[in-house]
Amino acid sequence: METVYKMSAGWSWVLNALYIPLSICSIGVSGGLVQPCGHIIPESPVLTLGSNFTALCILNESCLDLGNMHANQIIWKIKNSVVPKEQYRVINRTVSSVTFNDTSTLATPLMCNILADGQIEQNIYGIPVLLGLPPQKPENLSCIVHQMSKNKFVMTCTWNPGRETFLDTYFYLKSQWPRETLDDCIPPPGVNNSCIIFNVQFFVNLEVWVEAKNALGKAESEHIIFDPVDIVKPLPPHNIMVSSGELPTGLKLSWENQVTAVEMELKFNIRYRISDSPEWMEIPHEDTATHRNSFTVQSLRPYTEYVFSLRCMKKDGMGYWSDWSEEKSGVTAEAKPSKGPPLWRKFGTSYSPNSWTVHLMWKELDRSEANGIILRYEVTVRTRPPLSRQPEKYSVNSTSLTLNLTNGTHDVTLTAYNRIGGSPPSFLLIPATNSKAAVKDLKAFPKDGKLWVEWTAPKNVVKYIIEWCMLSDASNCTKEWQQEPDTSQGTFLKGDIKPLKCYMVTVHPLYTNGQGNGQSTKAYLQQSVPAKGPTVQTQKVGKTEAVLVWKPLTVDEQNGFIRYYTILYRTISGNETGNKVVRVDPSKTEYTLSSLSSDTLYSVKMEAYTDEGGTSGPVFTFTTQKFGKGEIEAIVVPVCLAFLLTVLLGVLFCFNKRDLIKKHIWPNVPDPSKSNIAQWSPQTPAKHNFSSKDQMYPEGNFTDVSVVEIEADDKKSFSEQDLKHFNFPKKEKNISEGHSSGIGGSSGMSSLRQSVSDSDENETTQNTSSTVQYSTVILNGYRDQLPSVQVFSRSESTQPLLDSEEKSEDNAEGCDSGTPRQQYFKQNCSQDETNTDGSRFERAKQVTPPVNEEDFVGLAQVQMSAQSSQQHGCGPEKNKHESALVNVLSPSTEGQILRLETAGVNTATVDDIPKSYMPQTVRPGGYMPQ
C-alpha cells in the first residue's frame, strides 16, 4: 500500500489539473469561462504516513442559490471508494470536513462530490495527496583515496542513507577545511549513498558530513575529520623481475613502486607458490615492512618453478593495502637430488634351487626431490656371506632392471644422478625368505574422497612398501606401489583410484636385515548396488525340498562388497501371493529350500546386497516331485518281488505238472510222412531206400491211419509173450476183395480214425481202393525216453490170408455189424476189457499234429496187416485177441506212450496168423527181416 503513496511532488500540478472539474452550478462570466462551485483545503498536502489529516470542502456562495445545494449533500471519496460518513462533519451550509486518524489508509486523489437535484452525484473538486516519511540520519560515513595514476588521486565517500522515505529525498556531501568550505558533492541521479571528490589535498585535515532532505524534513550525518594521505589505497608494484642467484634455494625479486617516498613510504607483502600447486605461501611481514623495490626469497626448493605476487600500503599501516600485482614466475638453480628413488622388486615366475630372476623397479623422483634433470641411475648389487663376491654395478637410463641372482641374500643400492651430482642411495634387501614380522590390523577405506590405508606398525621398521592393483575380470591385476617412511602408520594411495572398482592392497614392512610378509586387504573407493543379481538354478528337486545353486557375481558386477544374498520364493498356483525370504551368507553358492509342497510349481529369484543396496536376478521356476525319495522303490520293489514270486511258483507248478500240461496242451504226435514204415523193406534186414511208394506197396497206398496214444505210466512193458496173445484173422479172400472190403464196408474204421486223430481232418483223402489196410502199434517214451518194451513188426506181404482169418470172419455172428473195428473196441463182449479199451481210445482223441521222426528213434514198432471184413465174431479168438490188445496197450513205465496206428484193418489173433507172419523183434535199424 505504501507504493500508492510514493509519489513525486513534481507530479502534483498534473493531478491538480486532472481533479478540478467544472461545477454544474456555475455562473456565466465574460469570455464564457466556467468557474468551479467549490474547492478543497489544503490544496496539495504532503502527509506523513500514520499521522492525522483533516480536509475541508468549501462551496461557493454564488452556486448555492442556483443549484439549491447544501454542505450536508457533500460526499467524500478516495479514488472510487466512498469515505464512511462517520468521518464527515458539516461545519455550516457551505463547508464540510473529513478526518483521517491514520493516513496510511489514505489514497490519492481525494475528491469532494455532491448530490444535486434528481439525486445525481456531481464532482465538485479533487486534490492529490502525497504520503511519505522524513529522511533518517545517514550512517557509517567513510572515505578512501584511490590512486588512479602516479600523480592522480580521487576520494570516494560512502554512507548508509537509511530507510525508504517514499518521497523525493536529496543527499549532499559537504566538506570543509578548517578555514574554507568546499563545494557540496551531489551524487549522480539514481545514487544516494556515495559521492566522489576529485580535488584531494594531502597533509591537511578535511571535515566531511552528509545531509539528507525531502518535503517532510532533513537530517545530517556525523562529521568526520581526517588527512586524505592516511586513507590512500595505492597502486600495486609493477615491472616485477624474478632471477635466480648462486644458491639453488633462493630467488631475487625486483619491482617499481608507483608512489614516491615523498608522498608516502610503503611496506610490502610478498606471496609465492610452486607453479603446480594452488597453495600460496607468504614472506613474514616484518621482513618487508620498509620501503624498498627488491627482495630475495630464501629457503626455496632447488630446480623448482615458483610464482610470485606483491602488494603495498602506507608504511605506518594507515590506509589500505593495494591490490595484488600481476604474477611472475622463476626457477631456482639445480642441486643434488635430495633423496634416493623409491626402490622395489618383483620375483620372476621361473625358479631353480640355485638362482632366481628378480625384476628391480623404481619410481622417478619428484621435481622437488630430483633438484634437477635426472640423467642416469646406478645400481649396485652386493652378495652377503657366505657367498661374498665383488659388487656388481649397473648404469641404467630407465626405471627398471632384471637380474639373475644366486640363491642367497643380496644388498641392492640405487643412486640417481643429475648435472650437479648423485642422490643419497636407496637400499633394498633381497632375502631368501620373508622371516620378519608383518603389519597388523590392516584396513583400507574411503576418506576425504581418497582411499586411505592404515595399519599397526611393528618395531624397527625402516620403511613400508604399499602395493595395490585393481581386480577385474577383463584384465590382469597390474600392480602399482608406493613407498612410505618408517614413521607412517597410514597413508592415501597416490594412484588413479576409480570408484566402483575393487582394489587389492598389500603392505610390506622392510627391515635393515630382512622384510616381513605382506598383508593384504580389499577396498572400494565408492560402492554401489550390484550391476545384476545372481542367476539361480536347481541342482536337485525332491518332494518337499529343492537344492538351489548359483554362480557368484564377477568382480566387475559386484560394485562393492557383497554382504549377503536373499532368496525370495513363492508358489505361482494362485493360492499364495506372499514371498518367503531367506537370507544367505555370501560365501555360499548353494542352498536347500525345505518344507515345500509336493507336486507344486514354485518361482524363485535371488538378490545380492552391498552396503548401498541390492539388485534382483532373473526369476526361475521349478516343480517339486510328486513322490519322495524311496517312495517309488517302496511300491515297485514289492510289486516286482510279488510278480517274480508268482512267475517262479507258476514255473515250478508247470514243471511239476508237465505231463498233465503236455497231455492237454501239446501232446507228441508223430509225423506220418517221416514214419519208418515208409522205408521198411520186407526182403532185407537192412534199411532200404525206395524210389516210390508203388514199389514198396504195389497193391496200393495207405489211406486211413488212426493214432492212438496210450500212456504207459502204470502199465507193464511189452514182451514177445504178450504179442503171442494177439490172434490175427486169416485171409480167406483175395487181395482185391480185402481191399474193397476195407474201403467199402469198413465205415467203422473211418469213424475210429476220425475219433482218434482230429489233426488229420484237413489232409487230402487218399484213394484206398487197392491198398491193404495196416494197423501199427508203436510204443514210444515220453519226450524221446527209450521204451522198456520190445519192439515187433510185421512184414508187408501180399499173400492171401490164412483160413484162420476167414474163420474169424465167420465167428463174428455174435457181434454187432457195422464198423468192425469200432465194434471191436466198443462192444461189451467183456466188461472189463471194453471199459479199459474205451478209456484209452477216448484219450487218443486229444492228438496234436504229428511229431518229428526223431521222437520215435529206438521205439518198438508192431505192424499188423489184415484184410477188413464185413462182420466180426465174438468167439474165443476175438476175446483172446482183445485181451492181448489190453495187455499190449497197458503202459509199462512212467512217461511212455503206446501208439496204435490203424489203416482200416481188423485186428486178428496171433493164433490165426501163419508162422511166417509172426511178429519178429525189430533190429536197431528199424526194420525186421522176414
Residue by residue, DSSP assigns 791-839 as -EE-----SPPPHHHHHHHHGGGGS--S-HHHHHHH-TTSHHHHHHHHH
* Eight-state DSSP code of residue 422: B
Query: Does residue 454 share a domain with residue 327?
Result: no
Does residue 580 sit within a domain? yes
Mean pLDDT for 637-661 is: 87
Per-residue pLDDT at 574: 55
Distance of CA 229 to the CA centre of its chain: 80
Query: Does residue 505 share a domain with residue 567?
Result: no
Mean pLDDT for 903-925 is: 39
* Eight-state DSSP code of residue 262: T
Mean pLDDT for 315-331 is: 94
More confident residue, 543 or 730: 543
Mean pLDDT for 593-599 is: 91
558-588: pLDDT as tens digits: 999 999 999 999 998 755 556 889 999 999 9
| Cis geometry, peptide bond prior to residue 458 (ω within 30 degrees of 0) | no
- The answer to whether the CB of 812 falls within 8 A of the CB of 786 is no
Query: Does residue 868 share a domain with residue 764?
Result: yes
More confident residue, 767 or 472: 472
Identify the helix (H) or strand (E) that includes residue 424. Answer: none
- Provide the number of structural domains found in the chain: 7
* Eight-state DSSP code of residue 741: I
Percentage of the chain lying above the pLDDT 90 cut:
39
- The answer to whether the CB of 688 falls within 8 A of the CB of 925 is no
Does residue 292 sit within a domain? yes
Which of 430, 457, 472 is a domain's end point?
Answer: 430
Is the pLDDT score of 512 beyond 70? yes
Per-residue pLDDT at 914: 40
Separation between Cα atoms, residue 63 and residue 24, nearest integer Å:
9
Per-residue pLDDT at 702: 41
Distance of CA 362 to the CA centre of its chain: 43
User: What is the band of 16 on the pLDDT scale with cuts at 50, 70, 90?
Assistant: very low
Using CB atoms within 10 Å of the CB of residue 674, give its burial: 0 to 12 exposed, 13 to 18 middle, 19+ buried: middle
* Eight-state DSSP code of residue 285: G
Does residue 644 sit within a domain? no
Query: Does residue 763 share a domain with residue 819?
Result: yes
Sequence-separated (6 or more) residues with CB below 8 Å from residue 670:
707, 778, 780, 850, 851, 852, 853, 855, 856, 899
Percentage of the chain lying above the pLDDT 70 cut:
67
Residue (of 247, 220, 21, 237) closest to 121 by Cα position: 21
For residue 123, give its domain range: 2-132
336-380: pLDDT as tens digits: 999 999 999 988 876 666 788 899 999 999 888 899 999 999 999
- Count of Cβ atoms closer than 10 Å to residue 258 Cβ: 18
Q: C-alpha grid cell for residue 177?
A: 577545511
Per-residue pLDDT at 351: 63
Per-residue pLDDT at 866: 36
β-bridge mates for residue 256, sequence order = 238
Q: Residue 581: which CATH number?
A: 2.60.40.10
Is the pLDDT score of 699 beyond 50? no
Is the pLDDT score of 849 beyond 70? no
More confident residue, 916 or 459: 459
More confident residue, 911 or 317: 317
* Eight-state DSSP code of residue 744: I
Separation between Cα atoms, residue 417 and residue 423, nearest integer Å:
6
CA distances to 9, 106, 157, 452, 472 from 51, rounded to whole Å, are: 19, 10, 35, 71, 82
Tally the C-alpha atoms within 13 A of residue 555's C-alpha that lie toward its C-beta. Answer: 15
Query: Does residue 482 share a domain with residue 422?
Result: no
β-bridge mates for residue 682, sequence order = none
Query: Does residue 611 share a domain with residue 575?
Result: yes
- The answer to whether the CB of 721 falls within 8 A of the CB of 792 is no
Sequence-separated (6 or more) residues with CB below 8 Å from residue 572:
601, 602, 603, 621
* Eight-state DSSP code of residue 176: E
User: What is the band of 478 on the pLDDT scale with cuts at 50, 70, 90?
Assistant: confident
Query: Does residue 889 share a domain with residue 777?
Result: yes
Is the pLDDT score of 288 beyond 90? yes
Is the pLDDT score of 754 beyond 80? no
* Eight-state DSSP code of residue 179: T
Does residue 686 sit within a domain? no
Which of 84, 105, 132 is a domain's end point?
Answer: 132
* Eight-state DSSP code of residue 631: H
User: What is the band of 178 on the pLDDT scale with cuts at 50, 70, 90?
Assistant: confident
Find cell 592392497 and name the residue. 505
Is the pLDDT score of 88 beyond 60? yes
Sign (positive or negative) of CA dihedral 31, 34, 39, 45: negative
Tally the C-alpha atoms within 13 A of residue 719's C-alpha that lie toward its C-beta. Answer: 5
Query: Does residue 248 share a domain with residue 225?
Result: no
Q: Encode burial over 341-371: b for 16+ CB neighbours within 10 A, e otherwise.
A: bbbbbeeeeeeeeeebebebbbeebebebbb
Sign (positive or negative) of CA dihedral 808, 810, 816, 822: positive
Query: Does residue 768 share a domain with residue 901?
Result: yes
Per-residue pLDDT at 475: 82
Query: Does residue 711 share a domain with residue 760?
Result: yes
More confident residue, 217 or 809: 217
Does residue 836 sit within a domain? yes
Residue (of 497, 489, 500) closest to 530 by Cα position: 500
User: What is the band of 841 on the pLDDT scale with cuts at 50, 70, 90?
Assistant: very low
Does residue 690 sit within a domain? no
Query: Does residue 846 share a domain with residue 736?
Result: yes
Separation between Cα atoms, residue 13 and residue 7, nearest integer Å:
12
Per-residue pLDDT at 680: 59
Query: Does residue 49 share a domain with residue 107?
Result: yes
User: What is the band of 35 on the pLDDT scale with cuts at 50, 70, 90?
Assistant: low
Mean pLDDT for 529-548 is: 93
854-876: pLDDT as tens digits: 443 333 333 333 333 333 333 43
Is the pLDDT score of 924 beyond 80? no
* Eight-state DSSP code of residue 489: S
CA distances to 104, 216, 862 from 213, rounded to whole Å, are: 22, 8, 174
Which of 400, 430, 460 is a domain's end point?
Answer: 430
Per-residue pLDDT at 495: 86
∠ CA 326-332-336, nearest 5°, is: 160
Question: Average model confidence (pLDDT) for the chain?
Answer: 74
502-511: pLDDT as tens digits: 999 999 999 9
Separation between Cα atoms, residue 347 and residue 359, nearest integer Å:
6
Does residue 305 sit within a domain? yes
Separation between Cα atoms, residue 637 and residue 755, nearest integer Å:
51
- The answer to whether the CB of 439 falls within 8 A of the CB of 497 is no
Separation between Cα atoms, residue 648 and residue 816, nearest integer Å:
55
Does residue 680 sit within a domain? no
